[in-house]
Structure 1
Amino acid sequence: MARGTRYRAPYSKIAWLLAILAAYILTRPYVGLYHDAVLYTAQALQQSGAADLSEDLFFRFGNQGNLVLFPYVQGWLTAQIGLGPALKLLTALQAFLWLFALAMLARTIYPERRNWLIAMAITVLMGAGYGIGVLSYAEGFVTPRPFAEAFGMMALAFALRDETRRALLALIVCTVCHPLVGLSVSGIWLTLAFVASIRLVTLVLLGLALIVAAAQAGVAPLSWLLETHDPVWGELLNKYRSLGFLSDWGWFPVLVHALNVVVLLIATRSRDHLIATVATATLQMGVLFIAINLVGADLLENRLISALQPWRVLAWVALFGNLLVLHLLVSKSARSAAFIILFMALAVNVVEHLTGVSHVFSTAMAPLVLLAYWTDRPGAFWRWFNALLAVLATVVVVALGGYVYVEFGDLLTDAIAQIVTALLIAATFLVKGRENTILLAGAAFIAAVIQFDRQSDRARFMESDTPMPQEVIETLQGDGIYWEDGAGLMWTKVRKPLFYSCKQRSGTLFYREQAIEHERRGQLLAPLNTFDFTQIPPGRCPAPADPDATGPADANAVKEVCKAVPELDHIVLHNPVEGLEMDRWDLPIGPEGQTVYHAACDPLRVEPPRALEDYDWYPGASRGR
């Protein structure tokens, strides 16, 4: 694994590439319409005219998707070949482009024939989350972020090769794909492309001058630089956990990035100038952009800085923190404590990634790795100290194994299957012999493909050609439709605006009116106690009126909601409500179908006629009222 490794047969390289593809498939299975893919698909349907969602809360007051080219491309492709095929094609394209760009970057950093392939495999297998772990690099579902990341990696690779024009072009394409990703990589790109020079300072000052001039000219969204969140807007944004404000994050970033930061810190001391430069630039820009976020968004509540989310530079901290692990490994003897402990930390991190376990265990390994590299010195005392570190690392590994065994229960078999597949991938790079390498890579690829389709029944239905029952389409007239946890179904199948969903809060950081209206609707509908009010993700949306309930308390609760919200036409719930007549709809979701229950609001707003016995003048009526 050292520089100058002897050339191997092309069959070995093919096997390694197959193993990398297996690693990508294993860690990024096909989930279809999941997470932000639902939001971007809604934007695509709206932009292409396939659905009129203009009155949906997600679009009504503005939408950040208007600043991104991707929804137009996805919308056009969906119109040509259909939603399901478009999602599958885009998933394949983003995987190919992202891996191609990673190969460019890895080959630039590791020119040796074998090391760049191993570095790719490590980067794909290790935990990819950043920030508080809600987002990750190389997402396995369709969004513009992986495409933008790919061009961002190309820009960095070209910058490291001193190909400035190509680097600039790649950076522009990255920014067009997703402006926030373009911003996040721009600082690192500038540092690598121009180092510390007068040209760098000049470019930064010129860029800032252009931004200020555009802001003063009223060019949106740059004009937001001159705006702050007013007290009402600011209170709503700070009421719930937000991706825009680091002060809401607590210790999550430490858990997610501890090992990344340790690797980068050690790499800054590398004798390899290129490695040290990359690590230093990543850490410097990480600190700078986090500081800008803390001051501009958290402290000053500047609208533009909050919307730009400079903290997204952590995606590159995660990526380079993983990509440079191999360099630290090959810089030490395989028998050294530093090598052994880092290798154990790598294994722990991969298991966490595969099983979805919080990065508590790899965070515990991070200081052990740092100490092991710092104390890698001759002498009996240091040998004993490193032996103690190795024992502590072993305890962490055993603790992770015990946690997975106890917590996963019925899912333990799936977790073991994923871990075994990862071991096959690792073995592909470690064993000798062309036949063994090809055999292991093939086995890993087949195992990964078997586990590739992890769509939920709902996601599979949403992207399929199976229509929503005609009764549902005919009944749901008007724009005031609340469907419990039904954003994806309403947008892709009914293709009508949804009155309220926790997902619609994603634009509140950009648009004041959306934040206020989302809060109003949430407070009015909270007595329904549905999934949208269970604060998932924690603290992002209004809480239910009764945190222990899984639906309305009774028919009166539904009636009161309908009376309080005159623009609400229909309510669709997962469960029936006691004492309330509701339509039962059987949806073709999954092998056994799924049932929902519908109530129209207009009849519930009409007071039933009073019985004669309720009038005081009627003979026999109860007195003393």
Structure 2
Amino acid sequence: MLSSQTRWVFHTCAAATVIGLWMLTQPYSGLRHDAILYLAQALKWSRPDQFNQDIFFAFGSQDRYSIYALIFGPIFEQAEVQLVQPLVFGACHAAFLAAIWRLLPDQLGLRQRWLCLAALVLLRPLYGGLSIFSYCEPFLTARTLAEPLALWSLVCLHQQDRPWTAWLLMVLATLIHPLMSLPIAGCLWLMCCVRDRRWLILLPLAGGVVAALTLLGKPPFDGLLKQYPDDWWKLVATNDQVLVKNWRSSNWAAIAVSFAILLGAWPLYRDRHKSLIPALLVSVGVLLALVVLGSQIYRNVLITQLQLWRGLWLVRALAVALTPTLLLAIARKGRSGPATAASMATVVSMANLQWDSAWIGMLWPALHLWIWRTQRSVSTLMLRVSVATSVLAILAIGVSDYFHQRAIPVDDAIFLDFSPLGIALIVSALPALAALAWLWQAHWRARAPLIRKALAYGLPASAIALALTGALLWDRRPPLERYLESHLHTPHPFEAFVPEGTEVYWDNSLAAAWFLLKRPSYYSPAQGAGALFNEATARAWDQRHQAFRALGRRRTSCEVFTMLLGKLPNGSAPCYSLAEHEIQGICQMAADLQFVVSAEPYSHSPLAVWNIPQGHGPLKTQYLYACSSFR
């Protein structure tokens, strides 16, 4: 076989492998998380009468600062979610990976570049606090579009020296999602200043524009001179992922490891490309300091709302992509290189799975790095023991976290419903990467004819098998989500019993109330996302939250029991259930609530009953109740 043919076969296998790994580690769970809020913003374009009355939109929302609804409003007016969402976020993820490929150091070979992409889909994409946000989310939001646009703006400057094209892409990303793109704009500006100091003039110009808009009281810049009042701040402070003081130590450990990886990989960039890493770290570091100063100390409205810590998404993404390159570079240098790389991989595993003990674990690679840098003499036996210890630690971390991940209740909207194979790949990301690196290197360098022939046939077969397995396990949507995504414009049986404009509480599904029943939702925790941006929304949502506080506490405790014990105590109700005494208490406290949809049959007769097509399990049947019957 010719060398060009060998190269073509390898790239095809590598692409199939990355796609298969992506489908296993990024399962499609349907319309969930912030995709529900963004779909509502898009549908509000064609259904203003329905959504203007909803508590999430009634007092104004942040969608006025994004053109997302203008793009997808006309699309979702005609098309179903199941057609649009996977197609768009799949294309955006491909653009994301392609941009990261271009941002990698120039001297990397093609095999290492594919390994970097494999790292991007295997290592967890989580950034920020409480493991809620991630880059390349498996659903459609404005972030889905803004991330690849911001990345390609960096590519245009980093690789092609086209600053005006870069800034055009950055402006477009800002129009779609300013919170995601503004931190990256700082990185882009610093890189421009390194190349041409005339770009420094942009700082006083931008500052003057912001000052003028602030003094004129133009929103959102008027918030720069405002502090949150105590009662509003008390409600904002409950949003744990927004305020960095609420983040866990494991979140900060993951951030520290990402910064360390980027610093370690900085020497891999040469000449004019060396400005990428320092510009990114300086930009994000300054913005994190502003978050602490402006949000935690002065409680500034605008700085808190901008959530400037979101720039960590690119720090995490680039650090993840560079992880195999950095570990291989260290492993190939010096006698203690393999032991040093293995010790670093241990901490990367801890940080990747958000272990609090990652801070203590950092002492292990620190010792090895000191030996590696100073070239201390260490016996071969001790080096082998060190490597074995690190490998055993990585495997133990993976096994422990596998059972923890399997215990997480999948009915919680925060967590994806991973397949067992997907979980196994996530918790053993670094061993999987090591296996890929060995196989791909052997494919090119094997000298024995038998081994070369086995790899020539085995590598394509395994890649195809992985891609097919990923395709079979990718769709993890429950029946309600499947029906919802294909019936966005279909009348629902409950509609005849609920007058238009009447608020409904659909238990466990904000999306069903909005998109199936086509009525305003009375309450959902997700609707509280607007509390950060609007005081009236915060007060109205909190007033309703009081009626559901007992239910929320019970469900939280139930999920904790499930994760700790692996199962609930005998006789306990499932976490997703809604007991009759709970709905009775809610209806009595919420005097303006008229209708409730629940999966539970109560002693009171329902107004209507609906069976989810192809549904199964306890959530198959949904009942519509009049709240007045419980008062």
Fold shared, TM-score > 0.5 on shorter chain: yes
Alignment of 1:433-582 (within 5 A): 433=444, 435-465=457-487, 470-477=492-499, 478-526=501-549, 529=551, 534=556, 558=583, 561-577=586-602, 580-582=604-606
Cα distance in structure 2, aligned partners of 1:206 and 1:263: 34
Instruction: String of CA shifts for 1:182-219, please: whole Å, max 9, x gaps.
Output: 11211211122222864343222221221111122222
2:413 is matched with none
2:216 corresponds to 1:217:
yes
Q: Give, in angstroms, the shift of residue 457 of structure 1.
A: 2.5
Q: Give, in angstroms, the shift of residue 428 of structure 1.
A: 5.6
1:14–1:351 CA distance, 2 compared to 1 (3 A): farther
Instruction: String of CA shifts for 1:89-132, please: whole Å, max 9, x gaps.
Output: 223322232233223323x6456444333322223322211002
Which consecutive unaligned segments of at least 5 residues does structure 1 have? Answer: 539-546, 606-625
Task: Select between 29-38 and 95-104 the one with higher mean Cα deviation.
Answer: 95-104
Cα distance in structure 1, aligned partners of 2:188 and 2:5: 32
2:621 corresponds to 1:595:
yes
The letter of the residue matching 1:264 is: L
Cα distance in structure 1, aligned partners of 2:604 and 2:627: 12
2:92 corresponds to 1:128:
no
1:137 is matched with 135
1:310 is matched with 308
Aligned length: 586
2:369 is matched with 373
Q: Secondary structure at the match of 2:330?
A: coil
Cα distance in structure 1, aligned partners of 2:201 and 2:310: 24
1:542 is matched with none
Task: Select between 261-270 and 152-161 the one with higher mean Cα deviation.
Answer: 261-270
Cα distance in structure 2, aligned partners of 1:331 and 1:286: 26
2:440 corresponds to 1:429:
yes
Task: Select between 557-566 and 451-460 the one with higher mean Cα deviation.
Answer: 557-566
1:189 is matched with 188
2:609 is matched with 585
1:581–1:7 CA distance, 2 compared to 1 (3 A): closer
1:172 is matched with 171
| 8 Å contact from structure 2 (residues 28, 474) kept in 1 | yes
1:189–1:146 CA distance, 2 compared to 1 (3 A): same
| 8 Å contact from structure 1 (residues 481, 568) kept in 2 | yes
Q: Give, in angstroms, the shift of residue 365 of structure 1.
A: 5.4
Which consecutive unaligned segments of at least 5 residues does structure 2 have? Answer: 408-418, 445-455, 561-572
Q: Secondary structure at the match of 1:498?
A: coil
1:551–1:483 CA distance, 2 compared to 1 (3 A): same
Q: 2:57 aligns with which of 59, 76, 90?
A: 59
| 8 Å contact from structure 2 (residues 253, 351) kept in 1 | no
The letter of the residue matching 1:156 is: L
Instruction: String of CA shifts for 1:373-399, please: whole Å, max 9, x gaps.
Output: 342143324878766653542342132
Q: Secondary structure at the match of 1:432?
A: helix
| 8 Å contact from structure 2 (residues 68, 142) kept in 1 | yes
1:181–1:146 CA distance, 2 compared to 1 (3 A): same
Cα distance in structure 2, aligned partners of 1:252 and 1:101: 29
Alignment of 1:348-387 (within 5 A): 357-359=353-355, 366-376=362-372, 377-381=374-378
What is the TM-score normalised by the length of structure 1? 0.83
1:237 is matched with 236
Task: Select between 375-384 and 310-319 the one with higher mean Cα deviation.
Answer: 375-384
Instruction: String of CA shifts for 1:388-440, please: whole Å, max 9, x gaps.
Output: 65354234213224414654679756644776995675566333155454334
1:50–1:221 CA distance, 2 compared to 1 (3 A): closer
What is the TM-score normalised by the length of structure 2? 0.82
Cα distance in structure 2, aligned partners of 1:246 and 1:536: 27
| 8 Å contact from structure 1 (residues 559, 604) kept in 2 | yes
1:297 is matched with 295
Q: Give, in angstroms, the shift of residue 519 of structure 1.
A: 0.6
Cα distance in structure 1, aligned partners of 2:343 and 2:122: 14
1:22 is matched with 20
Q: Give, in angstroms, the shift of residue 144 of structure 1.
A: 1.8
1:513–1:110 CA distance, 2 compared to 1 (3 A): farther
1:469–1:173 CA distance, 2 compared to 1 (3 A): closer
Cα distance in structure 2, aligned partners of 1:430 and 1:322: 21
| 8 Å contact from structure 1 (residues 428, 440) kept in 2 | no
Q: Secondary structure at the match of 2:53?
A: coil
1:619 is matched with none
| RMSD, matched Cα | 3.7
Instruction: String of CA shifts for 1:563-586, please: whole Å, max 9, x gaps.
Output: 543322112334345x64545623
The letter of the residue matching 1:430 is: Q
| 8 Å contact from structure 1 (residues 259, 362) kept in 2 | no
Cα distance in structure 1, aligned partners of 2:361 and 2:6: 34
The letter of the residue matching 1:507 is: G
The letter of the residue matching 2:364 is: L
Q: Give, in angstroms, the shift of residue 50 of structure 1.
A: 8.0
Q: Give, in angstroms, the shift of residue 493 of structure 1.
A: 0.5
Cα distance in structure 1, aligned partners of 2:23 and 2:579: 44
Work out which structure has the larger RCO, using CA pairs closer than 8 Å and 6 or more positions apart in sequence: 2
| 8 Å contact from structure 1 (residues 32, 459) kept in 2 | yes
Task: Select between 115-124 and 40-49 the one with higher mean Cα deviation.
Answer: 115-124
| 8 Å contact from structure 1 (residues 484, 530) kept in 2 | no
| 8 Å contact from structure 1 (residues 338, 369) kept in 2 | no
| 8 Å contact from structure 2 (residues 158, 273) kept in 1 | no
Cα distance in structure 1, aligned partners of 2:546 and 2:183: 35
Alignment of 1:270-281 (within 5 A): 272-273=270-271, 276-281=274-279
Task: Select between 83-92 and 32-41 the one with higher mean Cα deviation.
Answer: 83-92
1:215–1:221 CA distance, 2 compared to 1 (3 A): same
Cα distance in structure 1, aligned partners of 2:108 and 2:461: 26
| 8 Å contact from structure 1 (residues 484, 532) kept in 2 | no
The letter of the residue matching 2:369 is: Y
1:149–1:344 CA distance, 2 compared to 1 (3 A): farther
Q: Secondary structure at the match of 1:57?
A: coil
1:560–1:19 CA distance, 2 compared to 1 (3 A): closer
Instruction: String of CA shifts for 1:162-188, please: whole Å, max 9, x gaps.
Output: 221121112112212211111121121
Cα distance in structure 2, aligned partners of 1:519 and 1:532: 18
Instruction: String of CA shifts for 1:434-460, please: whole Å, max 9, x gaps.
Output: 545433432332222222112223321
Q: Secondary structure at the match of 1:591?
A: coil
Task: Select between 384-393 and 29-38 the one with higher mean Cα deviation.
Answer: 384-393
1:610 is matched with none
| 8 Å contact from structure 2 (residues 291, 309) kept in 1 | yes
1:618 is matched with none
Cα distance in structure 2, aligned partners of 1:36 and 1:460: 18
Q: Secondary structure at the match of 1:571?
A: strand
| 8 Å contact from structure 1 (residues 352, 358) kept in 2 | yes
Q: Secondary structure at the match of 1:127?
A: coil
